[in-house]
Amino acid sequence: MTVTEALLTPLFAAGPGRPLITHYDDAAGTRVELSHATIGNWAAKTANWLRDELDVEPGDPVAVRLPAHWQTAGVLLGAWWCGATVTDDPAGAKVAFVPPAGEAPGAAAVATVSLHPMGLGCGADLDYVDEVRVFGDEFTPWAPVPGDTPALGKSTVDEVVAEARQRAATLGITAGTRVLSTVEWGQPDGLLNGFLAVLAGGGSLVQCSNADPALLPARRASEHTDLDLVG
């Protein structure tokens, strides 16, 4: 079972229409909310594209050099779903995901992720949003991904899932917990604490990018959050 299957399956069982990520970008003044099902669809599209178009196989390195964002969630979960090893080092990667104007020296392919709040593309030569849009909303691995497959750096699938669940317990994230976070998803700790632990605990995430501290008190009230991950 992949990282994505291990963490998303219980969330789908809890209700596919429930919110999973609410993303604010205070620099752009935007708010977008995505459900379990919508994030799952983006992950499936990404996994299908990576496997069928870029020939990503279990254990292949995929570099993710993106900020905390709902599109980044689709990239990460899609990469894990097809068994890829997520890294932040593009050298030798089968594909690297970068923001507009980002660079990834040494990667076989470089996909630009628009980070547009409404999911529009950015017109890059290899535009992630435009590429994955035509792929299916469901994904089935051709073969089971072994638990000892590297998933995040040198950590295996089983180790990443176990660590995410442990961190969820340590942070007090349980089903229904609504987490307000300004934590960036640096690898591995930011990604584990700020994203995977929320999924593993069954919570939902209010991610604030380019956060204005003055806006956080009102946001806690309006989003009914009950746990802070504010760095």
pLDDT digits (tens, 9 = 90+) for 166-217: 999 999 999 999 999 999 999 999 999 999 999 999 999 999 999 999 999 9
Place 14 in a pLDDT band, splitting at 50, 70 and 90: confident
Place 13 in a pLDDT band, splitting at 50, 70 and 90: confident
CATH of the domain at 179: 3.40.50.12780
Rounded to two decimals, what is the model's pTM? Answer: 0.97
Q: Is the pLDDT of residue 231 over 80?
A: no
Host domain of residue 206 = 3-229
The total of structural domains in the chain comes to: 1
CA angle 55, 187, 116 (to 5 degrees): 70
Q: What is the mean pLDDT of residues 74-89?
A: 98
Q: How many residues belong to the chain?
A: 231
Bridge partners, 97 (sequence order): 64, 111
Q: What is the pLDDT of residue 57?
A: 97
Q: What is the pLDDT of residue 100?
A: 96
Spatial CA neighbour of 78 closest among 39, 112, 114, 124 = 39
